[in-house]
Structure 1
Amino acid sequence: MQQNKEILLESGTNELEVIVFQVGTGVFGINVMKVREIIKAPPVTSMPNSHPHIEGIVRLRDEVLTVVNLTTVLGFPPSEHPEEDKLIISELNQLKVAFRVQSVSRIHRLSWEQIEKPTDLSQNLESAATGVVKLDDQMILLLDFEKVVVDINPDKGINVSQVKTLGKRERRHKKIVAAEDSAMLQKLLHDTLAEAGYDQVTFFQNGKEAWEYLEYLKSTGDVHNEVQLIITDLEMPKMDGHHLTRKIKEDESLKDIPVIIFSSLITDDLYHKGERVGADGQVSKPEIVKLIGQIDQLI
């Protein structure tokens, strides 16, 4: 797995690797970059008065990790053979979490172009999944692990009240483009940036839509008047944030526009990848105060 990560780090292509796993009758996926390891589920120590989705805690070497039972999260019946379950040890939002699943199958290398955004007609699927991809005649749902964590512990999300500590300053004449596929995070970003004074933010659901907007502005000759800074998530259908950043920084008309990557995946490996594609700043969700500080410095 580490070797494949290095390939992706060097490539700068619009690709990801997905680990496919099963929970109940559903087939799901998780980005390899979020996974530290996969282990056979050991005995779990229950925690009194904890959230219903939290099964308990386990000790893994020198760390104590919270176990989130995805069967409960997704509304499936309890596992029939819990002794065969696996734990996916994941790191996101600067937090390590163990997710219980029934089985893990294989790794698939994909292009973000293959991943579709769930529609409003998908029986509330959008609230649970960030994308859908068809593989081997199966529909694989890419779960929104960040939302699972924030639903359990809202303190791990973006907090608008944190912005009040920054004080008011004149920011209203600055125009920002933001690529973020989560409707929930779009609203939180809108509210927090507006609270800080950045109230001219144009949102796009993925890097491809943001890129097409930038190309349109280039054709009008007005790009620098309409965009002073770009914020991008990393994981997005159609075009990810690293690929968007690289395209911007390789374009003579756009390369001077600052780009900040704002993602739950700012690990050491991915920080270096962000540097390679030319990002001017990288901030881990949910550090909204740090994000606004970087925006202030860059524009």
Structure 2
Amino acid sequence: MKQKGILLESGTGELEVLEFVVDNKHYAINVIKTKEIFEVKDIIKIPNSSKAVAGVSLVRGETMSLIDMRYVLENKEMDRDKKNMVLSCEFNNMKVGFLIDKVLGIHRIGWNDIKEPDSVVGDSLVIGNIVLEDKVLMLLDFEKIVLDLTSSKGSYEGKIEKVKHSKERGKVKLILADDSRMIREMLKGTLTAGGYTDLTFFDNGEEAYRHLLQLAEEKGEGFKENVDILITDIEMPKMDGHTLTRKIKEHNILKDLPVLIFSSLITDDLHHKGKSVGADEQISKPNIDSLIEIVDKYTLNK
């Protein structure tokens, strides 16, 4: 079935998650990442590929790579001889299918209802836990799943190597909000390579907003002495990037702060959501090489 007409208004602090099951455990994905749900039987195995890659299948005349979520999560392979349910997703300008057992439904929740995993979990695929009555849905980091299986991380590193360094950027102050430690490291690597040294990172939008509010309360219009631009992800626990952007643009002092949304969810279909909350720029995460150019535009070339 196709998912249509269920996108929420941007910046409301709410999202809709799709609940699905893999090996009798309950998981969730942000609905806006899910393009379609369908069954597939004929899966062609790719030689010498990771066991986590089930293979490819022909979907309306086009091949789609399929990731075996049972193997990713439980180190067990799904039965390719039976029909499998597929979540077709699009993020980072990439379309990919995830094999799951079944879909149970859609839930509307607040971003602040997503609880961050305990620090003892470490570098897990779970980016948040959602409590629904008598069960817990684990919100998964699908971006990390794909990055772990592809050379995408290597392509990031290749782009970092091409960045030209400028000492002038050392005077620019950036605040960044992203819940992924891996993406924070990539951002730090790219910006540092370009000469940006004054970087303040936050794990979620709520912490970033509190910091900005404190600056506004203490310094008024002078808050700009401490920050030149904000770079934020969209999908984060506690407060998402769209809500963070809207709150900043509605604030009588913070409204002039340039906000750059850097997310895997910047697609042609979803670009309007960032625009509606007042984002100054939006970049899809694969395009990290254009990040410095845009930051320069709002800090050095203003």
State the one-letter code of the partner of 1:95. Answer: M
Identify unmatched segments of 5+ residues in structure 1: none
User: SS of the counterpart of 2:70?
Assistant: helix
1:16 partner SS: strand
Instruction: State the partner residue of 2:272.
Output: 272
Counterparts of 2:57 and 2:46, CA distance in 1: 11
Corresponding letter in the other structure for 1:232: T
Deviation at 1:284, TM superposition (A): 0.3
CA apart distance, 1:62: 2.9
Match of 2:138 among 136, 141, 149: 141
Kindly state the Cα deviation for residue 81 of structure 1 after the two structures are TM-superposed.
9.1
Q: Distance in 1 between matches of 2:83 and 2:132?
A: 25
Within a 5 Å distance, the mapping from 1:1-299 to structure 2 comes to 1-5=3-7, 8=8, 10-79=9-78, 83-122=82-121, 124=122, 126-155=123-152, 159-169=156-166, 170-221=168-219, 222-299=222-299
Greater mean alpha carbon deviation, residues 148-157 or residues 244-253: 148-157
Mapped partners of 2:181, 2:164: distance in 1: 27
- Using the size of structure 1 for normalisation, the TM-score is 0.94
CA deviation map 1:71-124 (0-9, x unaligned):
0111253447963530000111110001000111000011101001111223x4
In 2, the alpha carbon distance for the partners of 1:184 and 1:167 equals: 22
2:193 counterpart letter in structure 1: E
The alpha carbon displacement at 1:26 in A equals 1.4
CA deviation profile, 1:185-212 (whole Å, cap 9, x unmatched): 1122112111111111100010000000
8 A Cα contact 2:41 2:81, kept in partner:
no
Question: How many residue pairs get matched?
Answer: 294
| Conservation of the 8 A alpha-carbon contact between 1:260 and 1:279 | yes
The answer as to whether partners of 2:39 and 2:83 remain within 8 angstroms in 1 is yes
3-state SS of paired residue (2:55): strand
Counterparts of 2:78 and 2:53 in 1: how far apart (Å)? Answer: 15
**What CA distance in whole angstroms lies between the structure 2 residues aligned with 1:159 and 1:31?**
24
Q: Separation in 1 of the partners of 2:218 and 2:295?
A: 25
Q: Indicate how the Cα distance of structure 1 residues 255 and 34 shifts in structure 2: closer, same or farther if over 3 A, else same.
A: same
Paired residues of 1:21 and 1:103 also in contact (CA < 8 A)? yes
> Conserved in 2, the CA contact under 8 Å of 1:158 and 1:287?
no
**For the aligned residues, what is the CA RMSD?**
1.6
**Any idea what SS the aligned residue of 1:4 has?**
coil
Residues 144-186 of structure 1 deviation map (CA, whole Å, 9 limit, x = unaligned): 1000000000325762331332322220000000000011211
The 8 Å contact of residues 89 and 96 in structure 1, kept in 2 or not, is answered as yes
SS at 2:207's partner residue?
helix
Q: Give the CA deviation at 1:255.
A: 1.1
Contact 2:234 2:242 (8 Å CA) reproduced = yes
Cα drift, residue 280 of structure 1: 0.6
Query: Which stretches in structure 2 are left out of the alignment for 5+ residues?
Result: none
Deviation at 1:292, TM superposition (A): 1.4
Q: Name the TM-score, length of structure 2 as normaliser.
A: 0.93
- CA 1:24–1:182 in 2, change beyond 3 Å: closer, same or farther? same
> Does the aligned pair in 2 maintain the 1:158–1:188 contact within 8 Å?
no
SS of the residue 1:202 aligns to: strand
Segment drifting more, 25-34 vs 10-19? 10-19
Partner Cα separation in structure 2 for residue 255 and residue 238 of structure 1: 21
Distance 1:11 1:50, change over 3 A: closer
Structure 2 SS opposite 1:296: helix
Task: Compute the displacement of 1:219 (Å).
Answer: 1.6
Q: Conserved in 2, the CA contact under 8 Å of 1:65 and 1:97?
A: yes
Q: Which moved more, 1:70-79 or 1:145-154?
A: 70-79
